Amino acid sequence: MNADEFEAVQRAREYFHGLTVLPGAWTVLRLDGRSFSRFTEQRFDKPFDPRFSELMVTTAQTLMTELGARYAFTESDEISVLLHPGFDLFGRSVEKLVSISAGIASAAFTHAFGEPAHFDSRLWLGITVGDVVDYFSWRQADAARCALNGWCYWTLRNAGQSRQEATRVLDGTSTADKNELLFRHGINFNDLPAWQRRGIGMWWEVYDHPGYDPVRRTEVTAARRRIAVERELPMKDAYRSLIEQVATAPAPTRR
């Protein structure tokens, strides 16, 4: 077997190399921190630590910038980034999108925090804007569920219960039971910060940036693009309307 034939045989075994995202599909990359339960427990306050939240926002902003994402949502240790159907990044290669997005997130978080951390990535596809709205509504509902569970679990742990005891107490309890548990400990779940219960959303916006024209010697205003970070997202229908608006709005560009 000559060298060219040998190489062709080996490349043929890269079975998923040619897999690409369907043309015209909305694409979401969802990234999760690897072993972050243990990682965060050793380094951050529980159940929520603003320092960790800021690291996740920084990581999401980097992903948006590097991937040209339309929207990003982060809750707990996960980030979802939305790519417009017209994107052509990496030739829409599934392998590239998944591996490079995980690499970007891992590098961004590690750089910001100063300790190595790893993310994995998966890919979701939608056909319509309604699919996109459903996806992010689902993730926001998950944010509320995780926040309630986390607050209950760590309230019990901070009250002296072991991992096993806290888990046993919460096993099979309803949402109402969990809210009542927190209330008995002086915590009203609805009064907790919105970013803990609803997640954090990010999208591009154009703003006026003041400047100076040295030729004309006059003050000028230039349009610049930046990422808006919303820590008080609306819920239910209002959130669905927001997602639809962000997904369908023209991509902001500098003038």
CB 192 within 8 A of CB 143: no
Q: For residue 16, is pLDDT > 90?
A: no
Greater confidence (255 vs 25) lies with 25
**What's the mean pLDDT when you consider all of the chain?**
92
Domains of the chain: 3-197 (3.30.70.3000)
234 phi/psi in degrees, rounded to 5: -75, 175
Token pair belonging to 10: 């080996």
pTM tops 0.95, yes or no: no
pLDDT (tens digit per residue) in 146-157: 999 999 999 999
HSE-up (13 A, CA, CB side) for residue 21: 28
| CA dist., res. 87 & res. 27, Å (int) | 9
pLDDT class of 253 with cuts at 50, 70, 90: low
